[in-house]
């Protein structure tokens, strides 16, 4: 018993620490703000208007650095959702793959109201995607469009393999056709190699950026006048690092 007593006292002390830790993490409580730094809030219209395309890019870079470092900004997303009920003022639109690992809000450490996410398998640009990007620029007011590809993209790999097993694959092959052509190899074995798939992933991002600019007069005009920028980027699934490729 003499040996157990200190253990029991330690267990009680640990429970008390646990209880006080839970109490301090109540959403929106001042204790949580003190523990995790100032709470990051959704952008206001005034702040959004003042952001330049260069600043929007810096904000995404800084967010990705926080993500990679494992030190995301402190937010209360429940309160942020309520705060943006009457409108949000996002600063960037991100076109990326539907892949479950490429959430743009996560990899750029952004909160509710910050990013317009447009997601489609293989991050290809079709009429629907273009319409969403135009809407993001003209009505949501974003200053930057990022086409975010990622390594290990199953959609691109399927298109490269070209086995025709699924209708969806066939549609993707068509959408990715130009990227395949730019990285083409007559050697069908080489097409299955990771290096080839990686090349197609990058060509696809490059072409998607070109397609946005070529097919949307409204976005092109805003880019010409410096109000908006369109840039490609690749997410490295191994490190979490996003590399921007203008």
Chain contacts with Zn ion (rule: CB under 5 A): 97, 99, 153, 155
- Is residue 116 within 8 A of residue 68, CB to CB? The reply is no
> Measured from the CB atom, is 95 or 223 closer to Zn ion?
95
CA distances from 111 to 83, 95, 128 (A): 12, 17, 25
CB of 122 to Zn ion, least distance (A): 6
CA–CA separation, 107 vs 54, rounded Å? 19
> Measured from the CB atom, is 66 or 182 closer to Zn ion?
182
Q: How many helices (H) and strands (E) does the chain have?
A: 13, 5
CA–CA separation, 181 vs 186, rounded Å? 10
CB of 202 to Zn ion, least distance (A): 13
- Is residue 83 within 8 A of residue 40, CB to CB? The reply is no
CA–CA separation, 131 vs 116, rounded Å? 13
CB of 95 to Zn ion, least distance (A): 12
> Measured from the CB atom, is 84 or 158 closer to Zn ion?
158
CB of 155 to Zn ion, least distance (A): 5
DSSP 201: H
DSSP 123: G
> Measured from the CB atom, is 231 or 234 closer to Zn ion?
234
> Measured from the CB atom, is 100 or 186 closer to Zn ion?
100
Within 10 A of 85 (CB to CB), how many other CB atoms are there?
7
CB of 201 to Zn ion, least distance (A): 8
CB within 8 Å of 83: residues ≥ 6 apart? 41, 42
CB of 98 to Zn ion, least distance (A): 7
């Amino acid at each position: 018993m003499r040996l157990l007593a200190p253990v029991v006292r330690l267990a009680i002390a640990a429970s008390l620490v646990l209880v006080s830790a839970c109490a301090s993490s109540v959403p929106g409580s001042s204790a949580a703000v003190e523990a995790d730094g100032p709470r990051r809030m959704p952008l206001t219209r005034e702040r959004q208007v003042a952001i330049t395309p260069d600043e929007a890019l810096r904000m995404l870079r800084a967010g990705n650095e926080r993500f990679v470092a494992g030190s995301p900004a402190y937010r209360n997303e429940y309160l942020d959702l309520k705060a943006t009920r009457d409108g949000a003022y996002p600063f960037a639109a991100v076109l990326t793959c539907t892949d479950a690992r490429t959430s743009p809000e996560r990899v750029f450490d952004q909160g509710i109201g910050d990013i317009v996410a447009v997601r489609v398998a293989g991050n290809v640009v079709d009429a629907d995607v273009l319409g969403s990007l135009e809407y993001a620029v003209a009505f949501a007011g974003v200053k930057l469009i990022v086409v975010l590809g990622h390594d290990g993209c199953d959609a691109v790999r399927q298109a490269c393999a070209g086995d025709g097993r699924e209708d969806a694959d066939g549609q993707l092959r068509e959408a990715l056709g130009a990227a395949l052509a730019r990285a083409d190899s007559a050697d069908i074995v080489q097409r299955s190699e990771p290096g080839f798939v990686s090349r197609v992933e990058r060509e696809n991002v490059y072409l998607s950026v070109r397609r946005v600019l070529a097919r949307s007069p409204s976005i092109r005009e805003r880019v010409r006048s410096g109000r908006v920028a369109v840039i490609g980027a690749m997410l490295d699934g191994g490190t979490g690092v996003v590399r921007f490729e203008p």
